[in-house]
Amino acid sequence: MSEGKMQIYFWDGIRPSLDFPGRYPGCRPRVREDEEKGIVCEYDVTIRMSDGIRIFADVFRPKKEGRYPALLAWGPYGKHVPFNEASFPRSGVSPDELSEYCAFEGPDPAYWCPKGYVVVNVDPRGAWGSEGEHTFMSP
Residue 125 in contact with residue 132, Cβ under 8 Å? yes
Higher pLDDT, 14 or 41: 41
DSSP structure string for the chain: --------TTSTT--HHHHSTTT-TT---EEEEETTTTEEEEEEEEEE-TTS-EEEEEEEEESS-S---EEEEE-TT-SSPPS-GGGS-BTTB-GGGS-TT--TTS--HHHHGGGT-EEEEEE-TTSTT--S---SS--
pLDDT tens for residues 89-101? 666 777 778 888 8
Domains and CATH numbers, the chain: 16-123 (3.40.50.1820)
d(CA 22, CA 14): 14
d(CA 109, CA 95): 14
Higher pLDDT, 72 or 10: 72
Amino acid at 134: H
Residue 37 in contact with residue 110, Cβ under 8 Å? yes
Q: Are strands 54-62 and 39-48 parallel, antiparallel or unpaired?
A: antiparallel
The confidence score (pLDDT) of residue 131 equals: 84
pLDDT tens for residues 36-90? 999 999 999 999 999 999 999 999 999 999 999 999 998 877 787 765 666 666 6
The confidence score (pLDDT) of residue 90 equals: 60
When pLDDT is cut at 50, 70 and 90, the band that residue 1 belongs to is very low
Burial class (CB in 10 A: 0-12, 13-18, 19+), 103: buried
For the whole prediction, is pTM greater than 0.85?
no
